[in-house]
């Protein structure tokens, strides 16, 4: 018996009847030989961690654009927090932790620079629109590894696509990531907003804190425990009073932080920067080679969109400055 087979046997013996077993995966678009050590979901997780798109998340904005403080979240730290919360819930419910982790680590690989401001800008420019969850699937299917993609399992692809809105994932593990994503970003956005002087945690209405708790750790613990207590019959859910308080917390954050002029003052610059880069990159001669190939196959609009969506905040700003901000002349001084 190989290590993988032993793991699969353990899964079938220990995990919940509602769990997605690696031995019964729907498989990959391109069939591959099995690994002796790792299950298919473990291999997916490892491919995601080692891909270039995952590394770039460390320089992509979460809420505050290109934050300079050491402790503000980036898209990478957000992803790790989602993974931790999702794995805790999955383990408590005896669901497949490896699958849950793989989905969580990949869910934002297609996110733009400058957070949702960049996403809105590309959505306005691209004739096909732009949604980061669709782009995350596109990254792992078509853009990584020079166009070969990561060839992930159907369970992981579905969980990535369904992590934010619309239809639910067909696995409970994917549905856990959807909940964990919301738990993570609302709570760490409170902490970042307080650090930025945009919000005082004491301003959160009492009707919310009375149910969820008055601190980040209390709120996360309440939400995770509620998910465990109310998700043992084949559905992922919160207690009704917890769900109501959680929805109110989201509405509070929307009005106090996500649309706060102080927090979003730099975002007004994003649409113009993205549009200028987009217009420039629609010329295939201005694209790196892998994206020229996409331009030839799927059109210049798609290639420009793919290239810009993959940029970090820093790279997008530097490229804009290189192309459109005049530089000082460094030649020899004029002589008289």
Domains along the chain with CATH numbers? 38-324 (1.10.3210.10)
Nearest to 39 by CA among 89, 94, 83, 101: 101
Q: What is the DSSP letter of 14?
A: H
Q: What is the pTM of this model?
A: 0.94
pLDDT of residue 157: 98
Per-residue pLDDT reduced to its tens digit, 291-332: 999 999 999 999 999 999 999 999 999 999 999 888 776 666
Q: Is the pLDDT of residue 67 over 60?
A: no
Mean pLDDT of 163-183: 95
Determine if residue 299 is left, alpha or beta; phi over 0 gives left, psi from -120 to 50 gives alpha, anything else beta: left
- Per-residue model confidence (pLDDT) at position 71: 56
Contact yes or no for 174/155 (Cβ under 8 A) = yes
What is the model's pLDDT at position 41? 98
pLDDT tens digits, one per residue of 260-270: 777 677 788 89
Model pLDDT, residue 284: 94
Burial class (CB in 10 A: 0-12, 13-18, 19+), 261: exposed
Residue carrying the six token digits 């019959």:
233
Residue for token digits 């400058």? 114
Residues present in the chain in total: 336
198 pLDDT band (50/70/90 cuts)? confident
CA dihedral 277, 282, 286, 292 (to 10 degrees): 130
């Amino acid at each position: 018996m190989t290590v993988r087979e032993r793991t699969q046997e353990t899964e079938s013996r220990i995990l919940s009847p509602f769990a997605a077993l690696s031995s019964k995966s729907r498989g990959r678009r391109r069939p591959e030989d099995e690994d002796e050590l790792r299950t298919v979901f473990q291999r997916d997780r490892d491919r995601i961690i080692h891909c270039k798109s995952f590394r770039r998340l460390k320089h992509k904005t979460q809420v505050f654009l290109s934050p300079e403080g050491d402790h503000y979240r980036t898209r990478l730290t957000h992803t790790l927090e989602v993974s931790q919360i999702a794995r805790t819930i999955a383990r408590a419910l005896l669901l497949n932790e490896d699958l849950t982790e793989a989905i969580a680590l990949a869910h934002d690989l297609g996110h733009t620079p400058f957070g949702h401001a960049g996403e809105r800008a590309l959505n306005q420019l691209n004739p096909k629109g732009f949604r980061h969850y669709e782009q995350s699937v596109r990254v792992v299917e078509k853009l990584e590894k020079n166009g070969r993609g990561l060839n992930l399992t159907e369970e992981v692809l579905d969980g990535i696509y369904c992590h934010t809105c619309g239809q639910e994932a067909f696995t409970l593990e994917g549905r856990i990531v959807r909940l964990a994503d919301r738990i993570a970003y609302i709570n760490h956005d409170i902490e970042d907003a307080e650090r930025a002087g945009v919000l005082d945690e004491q301003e959160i209405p009492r009707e919310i804190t009375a149910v969820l708790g008055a601190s980040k750790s209390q709120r996360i613990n309440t939400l995770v425990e509620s998910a465990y207590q109310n998700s043992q019959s084949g559905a992922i859910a919160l207690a009704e009073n917890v769900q109501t308080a959680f929805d109110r917390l989201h509405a509070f954050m929307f009005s106090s932080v996500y649309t706060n002029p102080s927090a979003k003052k730099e975002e007004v610059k994003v649409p113009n920067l993205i549009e200028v880069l987009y217009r420039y990159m629609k010329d295939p001669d201005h694209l790196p080679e892998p994206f020229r190939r996409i331009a030839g196959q799927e059109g210049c609009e798609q290639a420009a969109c793919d290239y810009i969506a993959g940029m970090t905040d820093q790279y997008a700003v530097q490229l804009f400055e290189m192309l459109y901000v005049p530089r000082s002349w460094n030649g020899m001084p004029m002589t008289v």
